[in-house]
Amino acid sequence: MSSTRRDLELIGGASPWRHWEMDSLDKPRQPRSAAVQPEQPAAAEASAQRAALAQDKAFKKARADGLREGREEGRKAGYEAGLAEGRAAAQAELEQRSKELLQPIGELAEEFSHALGHMSEEVTGQLVELALAIGQSMALECIEEHPEIATIAVRSILESEVAPGSHPQLLLNPVDIDAVRSALGDELAVLGWQIKPDERVSRGGCLVKSELSQIDATWESRWRTLTAKVRRRQPGAGQDTADKDTSGKDDAGESEA
């Protein structure tokens, strides 16, 4: 053994001699679990983001559902309000049209009645009948020029409190059907009314039939109502006038049948 090695053994004591390696200077490594710990805040943040996204998605869905329900309620309310406004406007139009069509005729008959009040009842009655005949001719000409008058007759039934019953059928002159369907087709369809052509129904009027009842809004029926009112206002109107009104009604009913 060389003197140098022996000297080293004396310095190191009983410890055996070994070569120096670089690993011997490395510090002890920390456990793997300690190195993962800094990543825990990032995982918590990602979890919070997912929760926020889920909450935002639920909020958006609830908001969309609320908007959809609100639109549906608004649509229904708007439809009902529009329907009410449309009926009110139609009623005003009906009154105006009826006034334009029938009021001049009644005024004409009344003027004859007042102007000739000093004449005999027979002459006065004859002149009133003449005025009514002239008025009827004028009204029929107006109906020929304005097919929408039939629409007014139908609207008057819709606005009345008379229920036609189940499965109502609306009978119209074939010439008037297009005008009525264009103005009231949607509303009649909702109510379940069936529009049918009937040449026996005069232009400008209509007839509604159901299993339970019948509503007569024909031109002849409305004209009878007007003439009856005019005749009852004449001096000396009594049983003869009533008989004439009843006779005219029966004759018209037979012609319609």
Same-domain pairing of 135 and 77: yes
Return the CA Rg of the chain: 49
Q: Do residues 141 and 241 both lie within one domain?
A: yes
- The mean per-residue pLDDT over the stretch 205-212 comes to 88
Q: Which helix (H) or strand (E) holds 170?
A: strand 169-172
Tell me: do 97 and 153 sit in the same domain. Answer: no
Higher pLDDT, 144 or 16: 144
The pLDDT, as a whole number, for residue 57 is 77
Cβ-based neighbours of 232, under 8 Å, separated by 6 or more = 241
Domain assignment present for 22: no
The span from the CA of 248 to the CA of 257, in Å, is 14
Distance set, CA 157 to CA 42, 170, 172, 198 (Å): 75, 11, 13, 18
Q: What confidence score (pLDDT) does residue 72 get?
A: 77
Average pLDDT over residues 126-139: 73
pLDDT tens digits for 223-232? 888 888 877 7
pLDDT surpasses 50 at 250: no
> Is residue 32 in some structural domain?
no
Is the per-residue pLDDT at 76 higher than 70?
yes
Looking at the structure, tell me whether residues 228 and 131 fall in a common domain: yes
* Judgement on whether residues 139 and 153 belong to the same structural domain of the protein: no
> What pLDDT is attached to residue 257?
33
Residue matched to tokens 């007007």: 226
pLDDT above 90 (res 49): no
Place 119 in a pLDDT band, splitting at 50, 70 and 90: low
How many angstroms separate the first and last alpha carbons of the chain? 151
Q: Is 80 exceeded by the pLDDT of residue 8?
A: no
Residue 223 lies inside a defined structural domain of this protein: yes
> Taking a C-beta distance cutoff of 8 angstroms, is the pair 108, 130 a contact?
no
**pLDDT-based confidence at 197, cuts 50/70/90?**
very high
Amino acid at 116: L
How many CB atoms neighbour CB 164 within 10 A? 22
How confident is the model at residue 171, as a pLDDT?
95
Domain of 242?
66-145+219-257
Q: Are residues 140 and 224 located together in one domain of the fold? A: yes
Q: How far is CA 6 from CA 12, 16, 110, in A?
A: 10, 12, 158
In which band, very low, low, confident or very high, does the pLDDT at 64 lie, cut at 50, 70 and 90?
A: confident
pLDDT at residue 207, as a whole number = 92
Q: Is residue 13 part of a domain?
A: no
Is pLDDT at 244 greater than 70 in this prediction? no
Total number of domains constituting the chain: 2
> What local confidence, expressed as pLDDT, does residue 28 receive?
55
50 within a domain of the structure (yes/no):
no
- Residue 242 is predicted with a pLDDT of 47
Whether residue 245 sits in one domain with residue 119: yes
- Within-domain flag for 139: yes
Considering Cα of 130, then 134, then 137, then 142, what sign does the dihedral take?
A: negative
Q: Please give the C-alpha separations between residue 69 and each of 56, 59, 60, 72, 81, in angstroms, as whole numbers.
A: 20, 15, 14, 5, 18
